[in-house]
Structure 1
Amino acid sequence: MTAIRCSQLNKTFTQGDQIICGLNDVSIDIEEGSFVCLSGPSGSGKTTLLNAMGGLDKPDSGEIQVGDKHVDLLGKSDLADMRLHSIGFVFQAYNLIPVLTARENIEFVMQIQGVPTAQRRDKAIAMLEEVGLADHEDRLPSQLSGGQQQRVAVARAIVSGPTLVLADEPTANLDSTSATQLMELFVALNLERGITFVIATHDTRVMAYCPRLIRMEDGKIISDEERTGKSGELQPQPS
């Protein structure tokens, strides 16, 4: 089954007097349960493509299908509902709410979904255990390391049971040890839960884990490499 299908996507941005090409006739299919890396330098279009897949940004033309939903045709309300229930997002800057504890940050998504209080708490605690932070539930983001904050962000992203996780430069602010731990967590979630992962990065540590590596440049896909083995079977290379 296809998790994501993008057909002939085009996107431009205006920067001063310049028109910047974000996506140039991009077409791609990603199967359910895949572990895919979008790589390329800054400005290559990888984040623009990731945002289009998640309905965070709309292409100028082309079609995007996530599961059975045609993302490019959805209105704001339906897009918000899709993002809330079907897609988990992990960002470079963590995007945790600073005045909420680790548990409360995870609960926040479920609160928006209308999940009862006791159920929210139980699920949040279970998620913290799954990401290795069972004893950190009452800590604020400022009391956590960068790697721990990103794990809370991952727990928040997957607590509602999404079939797809989109991660934008998730290791950019992490040291080598934390980056490795995060990628091993992603791999475990992919293999054990069948979650489809699409990760935008220029970090070679991340690329080494991905059986499929899609390279972008100037808004175009310049190569699409299928490597043997499942996610995690490739070992990270020294940085």
Structure 2
Amino acid sequence: MLVNLLIVQIITFVGIVFLLRFLFTRHLKSALARLNTLHEENLAKEEELNEELRRAKEQSDALITQSREEADLIIAEANKEAQRIRMNMEEQARKQAEKIICDSRIDCEKIQKNALKDIQGQSIELALKMISELLTETDKVALQYELANGIIEEISRLPKEQFSVPGGEVNVTSSFPLLDRQSNEIKNILSDKLGSPVNLNQKLDPGIIGGLIVEMGGMVIDGTLKNKLQRIVQGFK
């Protein structure tokens, strides 16, 4: 009886062991399957995450590359603009410098011309003063008549086309009275040039020193000693 009971207990124990083993194995397989599924899901998610990270990195690298290219383009454009501005500034500076030099030359030429004109004027005035002080009255009269004859000769050689002023009053200014012969010659020459008789009005101006000035309306013929000296000085340029 005791043996039978022991056998029953052993069989029961073995059955329980097999049952527990069966149950444990089943749950273990289920757990392993679950773990395997989770592992595969994690691997898939990890792969997906890695793929997203790879795409994000590619996008980031592409964005960085694009940004660098755009930055390089902006820098290149800025350099071109700076170069253009610099060239424009240099060109403007060059033109300004050329203008300053040109204006300086023009101003220098004007100063030289004005200085030369002043010197010529002073020289002529000095020459006239010396002539006036050195010549006697007789010499001045002789000079006056000689210069008057010269201007009368010049008037006679002028073409009629230059005498567009109609005949009428003619004013003659001289340092000494003209000879009757000279007055008549002037009247006859001008009457012929103008095509009508003229009336000759004489005026004395001792400051002329020598020669005479003939005025007809707006036309002036300067045959004074001063004008002759001015022509001589201008011929020295």
TM-score band, normalised by the shorter chain? under 0.3
TM (norm. structure 2) is 0.27
Q: Which has the higher helix share?
A: 2
TM (norm. structure 1) is 0.27
Q: Which has the higher strand share?
A: 1
